[in-house]
Amino acid sequence: GNSVTQMEGPVTLSEEAFLTINCTYTATGYPSLFWYVQYPGEGLQLLLKATKADDKGSNKGFEATYRKETTSFHLEKGSVQVSDSAVYFCALSDWGSQGNLIFGKGTKLSVKP
């Protein structure tokens, strides 16, 4: 079945460091791919998405490229800020369940000043 695997956390970085959170997926067909973020005390919210191969999603300085050949959707940011501290979830669409998303386990990011 469809699944998402993302790197284990927690990840601790200094401010302005480069961030990569790896995400790979297994899916039949051509799913859409998503990164969701959960800031402390808040609900999950969509960070970015890509709907087809080679698409690049971007938002708030974060980017991720849909790589069909490597079944990956790695999240990157060139210079993280303390305010980026959150839990990041990679997800893919599973349209067999009326729009259900399949999530990775989440990666907790802590950015130190």
Binding site for other proteins (CB under 8 A): 4, 32, 34, 36, 41-46, 49, 89, 91, 93, 95, 97-101, 103-106
- Compute the C-alpha angle 50/74/87, nearest 5°: 95
Name the minimum Å distance from CB 72 to other proteins: 17
Name the minimum Å distance from CB 6 to other proteins: 9
Q: Which C-beta is closer to other proteins: that of 41 or that of 113?
A: 41
Q: How many helices (DSSP H) and strands (DSSP E) are in the chain?
A: 0, 12
Q: Which C-beta is closer to other proteins: that of 28 or that of 98?
A: 98
Q: Which C-beta is closer to other proteins: that of 17 or that of 71?
A: 71
Q: Is the peptide bond before 113 cis (omega within 30 degrees of 0)?
A: no
Name the minimum Å distance from CB 32 to other proteins: 5
Q: Which C-beta is closer to other proteins: that of 70 or that of 98?
A: 98
Contact assessment for residue 30 and residue 9, using Cβ atoms and an 8 Å cutoff: no
d(CA 40, CA 85): 8
d(CA 108, CA 40): 10
Name the minimum Å distance from CB 24 to other proteins: 14
